[in-house]
A and B are shown apart, each in its own frame.
Chain A
């Protein structure tokens, strides 16, 4: 599903590359943790996958396609197959829960009857069926992250990218979010999650790719944090 071949990414003004000769192969339906300290290249790894960044060298394949050779007008189509969740949720504060979720379908031109059925269904799935008319500021952090996951998943993407989704949440709430991501993974969606939450990684025992200063230093099935 995802394949990196010798990928290097350097940011201008930095003397070390953010990602250095990275190779990785992630199959469909896998759940992968990216671990490592801040600045180790986790976010860059994630941002390369949905073309928020371009690699300097190397090739990246998503669903069999070399995304480096993708024409710019095709990039939106790539992103429709890749949901993304962030530490800061990126919700629209002036829109309700259901409006935030339906926004993701509206802006890719889904017909209204699809939106009408999909949005309540996904809100139920993430456990917010009774809070669809609330605004983000009326929700707890965990609930806001659930809205963001609902938005990322409502279009049934092949891949879900999560960049420190539990970074702002207390451990109890984080477990709830992980249960949700696990459930989404069980529907066949490939999940790639960057985290430095040791407890979560050690409990879930999934594949772990460890990064240190831009290098992949460990790639372990059913791994632990370190």
Chain B
């Protein structure tokens, strides 16, 4: 027996407008919980992108004392040259260091005025073969104790700190979104239960005249599915809006570090798909459980 599309559309539509406040509440709850989920996914994506960006060139900097002797400098240079774990290295002289310094502090002329190139330390920029943070760190430590070396800095340290922060943030958000997704599924369940209650006369008559179980149930499951997908649609708009805000923020910040968080709208496709699936699942599961529980055949 074929279910008639126009019948289903009419019934589902009637159910949705029958109790507008509950319909709106359900859609909003689904969308808010999915915005949380979407934000968690967005941050995770940003962290992954940042990692990829920095893994290409993870480097450490071997700082030399300002009064380093040419012999000391050459021995450090040779040690770097001979290490098989190092891809390449580059000496940064005072002039280059000063230029970088100027670029970094360009908005603070009083600091620039107070510094002379002679006061700045020279350094080696090192690109290791293996980009793994732990390996890089162990490698860098080997050069810390060489004569004429004042210290070793790791670009990775900042990434790691940033990542551990954003990682924690996205975990917390994922956890919160899990809670609110459960809440929205429960609200969905109650919303469908209310719809069943409002239509109990129809359901009774349908049973008496011999409508099949699926015929009775499908409009209610479809109602849940519609609510879930509507909510997911709203959350997609929310996530796009949020991404736009982050993008503008990152691009105005002038710090390359966060560029991984500036996602193109097209990068969001997987997240959009996840959210729509999650919304449909909330609707289908919530309504399916309600229908099975209250339309026991």
Contacts and interface: CB of A to CB of B under 8 A. Distances in A.
A80 B209 CA distance: 6
Nearest to A85: B208
A83 B208 CA distance: 8
- How many B residues are at the interface, by size bracket? 20 to 34
A106 interface: yes
Contact of A50 (B202, B208, B211, B297): B208
A27 B211 CA distance: 27
B196 to A, nearest CB: 15
Nearest to A72: B297
Given A72-B297, A109-B1, A80 B208 contact: no
Interface stretch (B2-10, B32-40, B107-115, B155-163): B2-10
A79 B209 contact: yes
11 contacts: A73-B213, A76-B213, A79-B208, A79-B210, A90-B205, A107-B209, A107-B215, A108-B209, A109-B2, A151-B205, A155-B209
Interface of B: 1-4, 7, 201-202, 204-213, 215-216, 297
Contact of A108 (B202, B210, B213): B210
Interface of A is mostly: helix
A184 to B, nearest CB: 16
Contacts of B207: 76, 79
B211 A107 contact: yes
Contacts of A90: 201, 204-205, 208
A103 B210 CA distance: 11
Contacts of A72: 213, 297
A106 B7 contact: yes
A44 B132 CA distance: 78
A145 to B, nearest CB: 15
A73 B205 contact: no
A119 B135 CA distance: 83
A175 interface: no
B205 A92 contact: yes
A43 B297 CA distance: 20
Interface in A98-157: 103-104, 106-109, 151-152, 155
A50 B204 CA distance: 13
Nearest to A86: B208
Contact of B210 (A77, A92, A93): A77
Given A106-B7, A107-B206, A109-B4, A76 B201 contact: no
Contacts, number: 59
Nearest to A105: B209
Nearest to A80: B210
Interface in A59-91: 72-73, 75-81, 83-84, 90
Interface of A: 50, 72-73, 75-81, 83-84, 90, 92-93, 103-104, 106-109, 151-152, 155
B206 to A, nearest CB: 5
Nearest to A110: B1
Contacts of A152: 209
Contacts of B216: 107
Specify which of B210, B212, B215, B297 lies most central, judged by the most chain A CB atoms within 10 Å of its CB: B210
Given A50-B208, A107-B209, 13 more contacts: A75-B297, A76-B211, A79-B210, A80-B209, A84-B208, A90-B204, A90-B208, A92-B205, A93-B201, A106-B4, A106-B7, A151-B205, A155-B210
A95 B2 CA distance: 23
A155 B205 CA distance: 14
A192 B15 CA distance: 36
A104 B209 contact: yes
Given A109-B3, A109-B4, A76 B212 contact: yes
A78 B209 CA distance: 9
A151 B213 contact: no
Contacts of A92: 201-202, 205
Contacts of B204: 90
9 A-B pairs with the lowest CB-CB distances in the bound complex, closest first: A80-B210, A79-B210, A107-B211, A109-B1, A104-B209, A76-B210, A107-B206, A76-B212, A84-B208
A124 to B, nearest CB: 20
A151 B209 CA distance: 8
Nearest to A154: B209
Specify which of B1, B4, B207, B216 lies most central, judged by the most chain A CB atoms within 10 Å of its CB: B207
Nearest to B297: A72
A81 B209 CA distance: 9
Contacts of B205: 90, 92, 103-104, 107, 151
